[in-house]
Structure formats: structure tokens, C-alpha cells
């Protein structure tokens, strides 16, 4: 009996010693992790991005790499400098459906300020309720885009603004007819005079005014901006870890970089569906370079919670889906990845920067938590009164 009792005692002692060792090991790990997070928080919110941990970059991203950070000031082109009068005229035109053939569709129909300056639809409805083939892009922060549209076919906002007016599926009106229509509206005379010195309406002036208005549609300071500026308690641990993953293990920063969160390049992430229903040749349509087949403009991630659905074809509804897609390195095995266009065989060559990331579910949700900090609340905007 005595023997049994002492054995139990010994066993008890051994177990409790082991248990102690284990829990102090766990405790040590917890402490280490907390110290790691505290240190990251200190570095990232130091107000000086040169103190941040080094990003993990692929060599091919280097030529266009700019560290993430605040949006810089907007540059206005020499031949279209800013004035408040021009901005006001541009805003009025942007909301005026008389720029369309049916007098029903304004730029704002598809770029609605309450819907993140987009329309939150997979594809937009335009003239005669025709469906387009691409997802409407938000025009928030568009001043920072070096070229416009998913394929970059417009080089400036001035050039871009005439395109939807003339696009048969969008506003379907000839730009000269639009200029004539606007010139006949008495109330516009004073607006053109204030903006350009006299009341003459030209398509060039219409474009310049709309472009000026668009350059002013910018994000206000986001949680991310406040955090990196020194408000160290602005971020939760998950948001902080998400920022770190974005720049390191997940390597999103290879393409989504600078204050605009886009390197303004065209990349193939394997979304072009070549040879399948819904195929889109992307950048190839503009350059006719075979390696551009399936490349699209890298979109900004600022305001990303407001600009769903995602990708050029609006094929993904949630950020979780998008991050899971990247985590798997977008396996396109089931796709043809090849098509014949105008007698030329085109193959989709996915960027080497899109590869299996093996993110855990926790890491996926941390990345998402970080992306959400790039959005701001939608501002109430006063709609202009349409001139009579
Ligand atoms: C019927 C819906 C519709 C209307 C109306 C419309 N857009 Fe768009 N907009 C789109 C779609 C769809 C895209 C993307 C098209 C593409 O990439 O081929 C786009 C893209 C853009 C872009 C490019 C943004 C970027 O980041 O590259 C700008 C700028 C823009 N539109 C401004 C305008 C202006 C200005 C007007 C009015 C003159 C207008 N849009 C009217 C649907 C519309
Ligand atoms: C090789 C460059 C590249 C890398 C790396 C990359 N992206 Fe992208 N991203 C793109 C391109 C190009 C698109 C547009 C694709 C399309 O429209 O079909 C895009 C689209 C997106 C969109 C949709 C935005 C919208 O408005 O439609 C999100 C969100 C996004 N990326 C997040 C991420 C995250 C998170 C990572 C890291 C896990 C990442 N990206 C890594 C190039 C890249």
C-alpha cells in the first residue's frame, strides 16, 4: 500500500515538473511573440518608413517599386491647371445625363459617389440597358493613375473622358453632338465663361473640366495613414500583422505599391480566361505585344472595401475570395490559357510573382483586416444643380 502511494507521489511530481516546464515554454513563446508584435508596431508607426522591416521583393518588381505610404499631392498638367471654377463645371458635367444620347446616363450613373465612385455591379448597364464586358473602375484617386482603363488604352484623363460618351454601350453619343447640346443650354454659358474666360463650348473644354473634377476625387486620411503617422494604437494586432504580411510573406507589395497601392504596371495574375467564355485579352488589345495577352492594370487597393466586386470582370465578390485566390497562387490548371485571335496564337503567361503562398486561415484574415484599413467612409457630396 505504502509503495503504491509513493509511486503515485513520484508520478505526480514528475507530471507537475513536466507541466511546469511546458507552460513556461509556452509562456516564453507568448512573450516572444508579444515582443515581436510590440516591436513591429513601434517600427511601422514610427513616422519614418526607412525604419520599417525590409520588404520581400522579387527582382522583377524592382524597376517600378515605390514603398507604400501616403498619397502625394496631385499634379495638374501644364495645359490644364487647376481652378475651382473648372472643377465646378466638371462636376456639373459629370452628373449631367444630357452628355448621353438618351439624356438618361451620366458619368455618375456608373461612377456613383455613394457606391465608391463605381457601381458595385459585375458589369455596368449603359445605353439601352446594354451590359458592358468589364467591371466599372472606381475613379477615387484616379489622379494617380498613369494610364486609364483595365487595358490602359487612354493616356490621360482628358483623353479618357471622351471615350465613355462615344462608347455605344455606355453613353452612345458623338462628342461633337454633345458639345452642341451643351452649348444650347443657357445655364452653362456662365460656367464655361468662369472656367475658361468665354462661353464657347468645345469638346476639349468639356474634357478638361471633367478631368479637373476627377483629379480632386481623393481619399481622405485612412486608418493606415494615421497609423504610419504615429498613432500607434490605431491598429489592432491583426491589422498590424496584415500590413507586415502584405510587405513580406504574401508579397502583395511586388505589384500593389506606392501611396496609390499600384505600381501602375500591367500584370498577368491569371484572370484572362483565354480560350474560355468571357476571355479578355487585356493589355494586348492596346499594344499587340504577345506577352501582354491577359495582362491588366494593377488596380489601386485604396478604398478597396467600397469597390467590389473585384477584378476586370467583377468575378470575385469578397476580399476573402481574392486573398484565397492569391494564396493558392491562382492554379489555372483547369483553364485552356490559350486562344487564337486574328490568326495569332496567344498564350497567357502568368507573372512569376503570383505563386503559392500557403497562407494560414489566420494570415488570410489578417491580410483582409489590413486591406480594410485602406478604406475611408464615403463622404456626402452635394449634387450640383443641372443648368437649364
Ligand atoms: C455605362 C457605365 C459607364 C459610364 C456611363 C461611364 N463609365 Fe467610366 N468606366 C466604366 C467601365 C466599365 C470602366 C472600365 C472599362 C475598361 O477598362 O474597359 C470605366 C473606366 C473609367 C475610368 C478609368 C479609371 C482607371 O482607374 O483607369 C475613368 C477615369 C472613367 N471611367 C471616367 C468616366 C467619365 C468621366 C464618364 C463620363 C463622361 C464615365 N466614366 C462614364 C463604366 C462607365
Ligand atoms: C503580379 C502582380 C500582383 C501581385 C503580386 C498581387 N496583385 Fe493584386 N492585382 C494585380 C492585378 C493585375 C489585378 C487586376 C486583375 C484583373 O483585373 O483581372 C489585381 C487585383 C487585385 C484586387 C482586386 C481590386 C479591384 O479593385 O478589382 C485585390 C483586392 C488584390 N489584387 C489584392 C492583392 C493582394 C492582397 C495581394 C497579395 C496576396 C496581391 N493582390 C498581389 C496584380 C498583383
Residue nearest to atom 35 of ligand 1 (CA): 161
Which ligand 2 atom lies nearest to the CA of residue 297? 12
Tell me what pLDDT residue 48 has: 97
Q: Which CATH class is domain 84-215?
A: mainly alpha
Decide: 178 in ligand 1 pocket, CB within 6 A. Answer: no
Peptide bond into 210 cis (omega under 30): no
Decide: 326 in ligand 2 pocket, CB within 6 A. Answer: yes
* Alpha-carbon span 213 to 140, nearest angstrom: 11
Decide: 282 in ligand 1 pocket, CB within 6 A. Answer: no
Same fold across 46-70+222-372 and 84-215: yes
Decide: 314 in ligand 1 pocket, CB within 6 A. Answer: no
Residue nearest to atom 15 of ligand 2 (CA): 311
Decide: 145 in ligand 2 pocket, CB within 6 A. Answer: no
Decide: 254 in ligand 2 pocket, CB within 6 A. Answer: yes
Tell me what pLDDT residue 1 has: 67
Q: Which ligand is nearest to the CA of 330?
A: 2
Decide: 210 in ligand 1 pocket, CB within 6 A. Answer: yes
**pLDDT mean for each 10 residues of the chain (388 residues):** 84 85 88 95 97 97 96 97 98 97 95 94 89 93 98 97 92 94 97 98 97 97 98 98 98 98 97 94 97 98 97 97 93 84 95 95 98 92 94
Decide: 217 in ligand 1 pocket, CB within 6 A. Answer: no
Decide: 132 in ligand 1 pocket, CB within 6 A. Answer: yes
Decide: 201 in ligand 1 pocket, CB within 6 A. Answer: no
Domain ranges across the chain: 46-70+222-372, 84-215
Cα 377 from chain centroid (whole Å) = 16
Pocket test for ligand 2, best of 244, 269, 284, 293 (most atoms within 8 A of CB): 269
Q: Which ligand is nearest to the CA of 136?
A: 1
Tell me what pLDDT residue 135 has: 94
Place of cell 503567361: 349
Residue nearest to atom 10 of ligand 1 (CA): 136
Contact 254, 247 (CB under 8 A): no
Distance 267 CA to ligand 2 centre (A): 9
* Alpha-carbon span 11 to 15, nearest angstrom: 6
Decide: 150 in ligand 1 pocket, CB within 6 A. Answer: yes
Distance 292 CA to ligand 1 centre (A): 22
Query: CA of 174: how far to CAs of 99, 134, 139, in Å?
Result: 9, 22, 23
Coil, strand, or helix at residue 242?
Answer: helix
Residue 375 has φ and ψ, to the nearest 5°, of: -100, 155
Decide: 148 in ligand 1 pocket, CB within 6 A. Answer: yes
Q: Which ligand is nearest to the CA of 93?
A: 1
Tell me what pLDDT residue 365 has: 98
Name beta bridge partners: 295. Answer: 282
CATH hierarchy code of domain 46-70+222-372: 1.10.760.10
Tell me what pLDDT residue 103 has: 95
Which among 378, 385, 313 is positioned nearest to 117, based on CA atoms? 378
Residue nearest to atom 18 of ligand 1 (CA): 149
Decide: 145 in ligand 1 pocket, CB within 6 A. Answer: yes
Amino acid at each position: 500500500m505504502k509503495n503504491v502511494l509513493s509511486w503515485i507521489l513520484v508520478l505526480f511530481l514528475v507530471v507537475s515538473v513536466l507541466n511546469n516546464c511546458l507552460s513556461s515554454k509556452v509562456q516564453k513563446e507568448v512573450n516572444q511573440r508579444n515582443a515581436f508584435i510590440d516591436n513591429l508596431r513601434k517600427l511601422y508607426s514610427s513616422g519614418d518608413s526607412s525604419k520599417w522591416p525590409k520588404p520581400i521583393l522579387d527582382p522583377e518588381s524592382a524597376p517600378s517599386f515605390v514603398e507604400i505610404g501616403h498619397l502625394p499631392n496631385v499634379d495638374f498638367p501644364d495645359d490644364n491647371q487647376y481652378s475651382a471654377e473648372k472643377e465646378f463645371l466638371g462636376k456639373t458635367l459629370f452628373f449631367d445625363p444630357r452628355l448621353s444620347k438618351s439624356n438618361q446616363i451620366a458619368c455618375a450613373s456608373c461612377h456613383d459617389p455613394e457606391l465608391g465612385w463605381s457601381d458595385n455591379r459585375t458589369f455596368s448597364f449603359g445605353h439601352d440597358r446594354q451590359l458592358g464586358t468589364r467591371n466599372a473602375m472606381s475613379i477615387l484617386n484616379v489622379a494617380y493613375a498613369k494610364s486609364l482603363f483595365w487595358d490602359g488604352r487612354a493616356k490621360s484623363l482628358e483623353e479618357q473622358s471622351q471615350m465613355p460618351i462615344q462608347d455605344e454601350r455606355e453613353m452612345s453619343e458623338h462628342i461633337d453632338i454633345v458639345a452642341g447640346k451643351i452649348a444650347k443650354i443657357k445655364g452653362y454659358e456662365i460656367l464655361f465663361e468662369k472656367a475658361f474666360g468665354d462661353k464657347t463650348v468645345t469638346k476639349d473644354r468639356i474634357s478638361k473640366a471633367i478631368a479637373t473634377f476627377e483629379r480632386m476625387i481623393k481619399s481622405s486620411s485612412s486608418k493606415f495613414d494615421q497609423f504610419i503617422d504615429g498613432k500607434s494604437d490605431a491598429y489592432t494586432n491583426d491589422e498590424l500583422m496584415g500590413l507586415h504580411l502584405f510587405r513580406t510573406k504574401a508579397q502583395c507589395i511586388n505589384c500593389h505599391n506606392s501611396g496609390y497601392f499600384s505600381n501602375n504596371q500591367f500584370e498577368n495574375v491569371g484572370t484572362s480566361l483565354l480560350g474560355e467564355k468571357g476571355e479578355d485579352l487585356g493589355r494586348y488589345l492596346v499594344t499587340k505585344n504577345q506577352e501582354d495577352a491577359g495582362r491588366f492594370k494593377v488596380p489601386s487597393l485604396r478604398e478597396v472595401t467600397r469597390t467590389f466586386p473585384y477584378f476586370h470582370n467583377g468575378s470575385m465578390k469578397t476580399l476573402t475570395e481574392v486573398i484565397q485566390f492569391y494564396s493558392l497562387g491562382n492554379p489555372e490548371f483547369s483553364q485552356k490559357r490559350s486562344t487564337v485571335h486574328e490568326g495569332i496564337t496567344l498564350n497567357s503567361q502568368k507573372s512569376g510573382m503570383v505563386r503559392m503562398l500557403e497562407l494560414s486561415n489566420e494570415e488570410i484574415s489578417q491580410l483582409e483586416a489590413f486591406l480594410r484599413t485602406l478604406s475611408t467612409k464615403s463622404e456626402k457630396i452635394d449634387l450640383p444643380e443641372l443648368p437649364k
